[in-house]
A = this chain, B = another copy of it.
Amino acid sequence: MILSNEERFKLVKRNTSEIVSEEELMNLLKKKKNPVVYWGTAVTGKPSLAYFFPILKLSDFSKAGFKVKILLADLHGALDGTPWLILEHRYDYYKEAITQILKALGTDLKKIEFVKGSEFQLGHEYMYDVLKIASMASVHDCKKAASEVVKMGDNPMLGGLIYPIMQALDEQYLGVDIQFGGLDQRKILMFARENLPKAGYDRRVEVMNPMIQGLIGKKMSSSDPKSKIDLTDDEKTIKDKVNYSYCMEGNSDCGIMEFLKYVIMTIKSDNKEKFSVERADKFGGNVDYSNYNDIEKDFLEKKLHPMDLKNAVAKEIILLLDKVDKKKLNELAKKAYTTLN
């Protein structure tokens, strides 16, 4: 099926919150049938269920003709606090976790190229360019760029300020036309656009997807396991976490609804499947939805109760994670998330 450039544009734009700039994106699509996009993740905390969202989004790029690269940024992980001693194990975990998610989503793995950061980021030219940009980017700007992504605290390490410079150069050295990332990356992505030209390179198009809220607060927290669902959580844990999650009747501003919208219902509508809510006849009986808007409408009008919604969502999450090889991940996690003293 050959898509028009407008259709390709729409696919890339779907479920995103910002594109810088849409005009450049359109020009890119007109110019290249098979542009390159990359999505990167620093190997830090444990990838959670939320990773399904950006990874699912990668298939939109793929359908729009893009070559897709996934950067497993090990060195960036270390610059954000992952201990150097277990960095390699952490990398192994990420690679396996993301592979499992891709499989669970039915993605053709041959269409995805994995790249390990340290494999090209330690090269002569790369280092030269890091120093070049570092000599022209202010401490202030680097700090600002990293502030929403890198853990800073009262006494930030210098590594966190080199982080955005390397992320900018990754666009060049991975040979991509687009970097795709979460909206939390916005400042880093804008930093890349501003600073790549200083090293003589073209700025890239930046595509951002919205952030999915945590289950019990706006942000997912690695210190509170109840705020997110882990890839290795079993059925009972998933049900408990979903049930415990913050989801008020008539208010769709919560992590459950967001995951439903961006992940579950995106998959369902692509597959022409329906989202089924089971409930006793006395509560209205079973109901099927074919798109998110209908669900949200019912939810806002209190025709769909949080309890029934939660049960249905939990069932879908269990189904998604059913394909994940949890045993393998748990095994890798032993070395990857050991506590060092």
Contact = CB atoms under 8 A, between A and B. Distances in A.
Contacts of A75: 131
Contacts of A156: 138-139
Interface string A123-145: 11111101110111111101100
Q: At the interface, is chain A mostly helix, strand, loop or mixed?
A: helix
A84 interface: yes
Interface string A142-159: 110000000000011111
Q: Which of A128, A134, A135, A140 has the most CB of B within 10 A?
A: A135
Given A158-B162, A158-B165, A78 B131 contact: yes
Copies of the protein in its oligomer: 2
A333 B161 CA distance: 35
Contacts of A143: 139
Q: Most chain-B Cβ atoms within 10 A of its Cβ — which of A75, A118, A124, A139?
A: A139
Contacts of A136: 157, 159
Interface of A: 75, 78-79, 81, 84, 118, 121-128, 130-132, 134-140, 142-143, 155-159, 161-162, 165
25 contacts: A75-B131, A78-B135, A79-B131, A81-B135, A84-B132, A84-B135, A118-B128, A121-B127, A122-B124, A122-B125, A122-B127, A127-B130, A131-B162, A134-B158, A137-B157, A138-B155, A138-B156, A138-B158, A139-B139, A139-B156, A139-B157, A139-B158, A142-B158, A158-B162, A158-B165
